Amino acid sequence: MDIYLHFKDQAAEAITFYEDVFKTKPAQIMTFGQMPHDDNTPVDDSIKDLVLHANLQINDTNVMISDSPESLTSPRVIGNNVALVFNAKTAGEALEIFQQLAENGTVLLPLEKTFWAELYGMVKDRYGVNWYINFL
């Protein structure tokens, strides 16, 4: 299963943030301006630099990311119906990632010991994405 995250004009910024937090390889990014030219459907200059599609590998998960300009899609609603679960390899990694995601975000459940995990916490990052950080 892959994950697809849609942003409103912040995809490039979010990609850089996630690359740093999860220490990933740089994402493969295509902008709207890089799409093949089509005279019947020209790309508006205001969206040429926005992310059409990107692939970011976080551990073994492919996270696809794009901007969703309202001129091309229905309005994007940030909701609580999707959360990404990151299974840390060490307690230190769990703490570091949780703290970085919480910066300018909201801690929903502090990172702490639970009956099922050594550490578990929930955070909504600065882009409104819910993350569950797990260290078993």
The segment(s) of the chain belonging to CATH 3.30.720.110 are: 81-136
pLDDT of residue 1: 63
The stretches in the chain having pLDDT less than 70 are: 1, 73-74, 76, 78-81
Q: Which residues of 22-51 are buried (b: 16+ CB within 10 A; e: fewer)?
A: beeeebebebbeeeeeeeeeebeeebeebb
pLDDT of residue 76: 67
The segment(s) of the chain belonging to CATH 3.10.180.10 are: 1-70
Does pTM surpass 0.75?
yes
**Domain 81-136 -> CATH class:** alpha beta
pLDDT of residue 74: 66
pLDDT of residue 81: 63
> Can you give the length of the chain in residues?
136
User: Helix, strand, coil shares of the chain as percentages rounded to 5?
Assistant: 20, 35, 45
CATH superfamily entry for domain 1-70: 2,3-Dihydroxybiphenyl 1,2-Dioxygenase, domain 1 (3.10.180.10)
